[in-house]
A = this chain, B = another copy of it.
Amino acid sequence: MGVGEISEMKPSAQCGKEKGSSPLGPIGVFDSGIGGLTVVAALRHLLPNEDVFYLGDTARVPYGGKSQETIERYSVEIGKLLLAEHAKIIVVACSTSSALALARLRESLPVPVIGIVEVGAIAAVHASHDKRIGVIGTKATISSGAYERAIREICIGAYVVSSACPLLVPLVEEGMFEDEITHLALKRYLDPLLYRNIDTLVLGCTHYPLLYRAIERVIGSRIVVINSGKNCALAVEKVLKSSGMAQGLRSGGLRVALTDTAEGFLRVAGQTLGLKIEEVELLGL
């Protein structure tokens, strides 16, 4: 399928619309790349009965750095591809997309849409004792101020300090989880937050949970780390149960589709996260 055909996908989207409300549909998860597999791992762990369809827009990764208009357009295109797969709920695992395109996605898609930013903000406010919260993410996520806004909507007096960490995604994608260069980069990004006495740190990018141990070495064990993957899974569970859309006793499956090949990191992520990824479908976006 050529990119030009995306706007012609209305029949499939309609199809998703009709079947989107069936408990038989999968949980649709999307991210700009492979990072959202950390969310998939959490979903598979918490909701083993559910099918999960993961779509990584690897042809156009990274979203971070692109304009809001572009991110909205890409996100809606991907959301419609998930509808065509009959997704009954959609998890926006890409922080950049969740930060910049969530409203547009909710307007455009007829199924519940869970955004990783909202979920992370709620978890951070609950976890933080002093309401001094640090957020790290891509440039686009941080400069959008989305986490800050989402946190302040829940707790108006919260102190939020953010740091854009553009080197972390490439470091993760190189598998450099335990590396002197990664340690130096993390110190550069995290020290200014530590000076400001945060007691909670939101990992505002799905790649970052793979750096958990390296991050803990820099910040110590005193600070609570919010990994939004787990919180996304809890939010999905809540929606599915309250709407009668949860699957019964059965073993759910995982399908992974990408818009371009992504050899190295897919292998790294799959192994690190213990995900069984048998076949990767390729969608020509």
Q: List the interface of chain A (C-beta within 8 A of B).
A: 2-7, 58-60, 65-67, 70, 166-167, 170-171, 173-174, 180-181, 184-185, 188, 260-262
What is the oligomeric copy number?
2
Q: Using A5-B4, A59-B66, A260-B70 as known contacts, say yes or no to A171 and B181 having CB atoms under 8 A apart.
A: no
| A180 contact from B58, B173, B184, Cβ within 8 A | B184
Contacts of A59 in B (CB 8 A): 60, 66, 70
Q: Which residues of B contact A166 (CB under 8 A)?
A: 170, 173-174
Task: Give CA–CA (A223, B185) in the complex, Å.
Answer: 29
In the complex, chain B residues whose CB is within 8 Å of the CB of A174: 166-167
In the complex, what residues of B have CB within 8 A of residue A180's CB? 184
CA distance A171 to B170 in the complex (A): 10
A7 contacts which chain B residues (CB < 8 A)?
2, 4
For the complex, what is the distance from the CA of A84 to the CA of B184, rounded to whole Å? 47
> Which residues from chain B contact A67 at a C-beta distance below 8 Å?
260-261
Which of B5, B65, B171 has a CB less than 8 Å from the CB of A262? Answer: B65
Residue from B3, B181, B184 within 8 A of A4 (CB atoms)? B3
B residues near A3, Cβ cutoff 8 Å: 3-4, 6
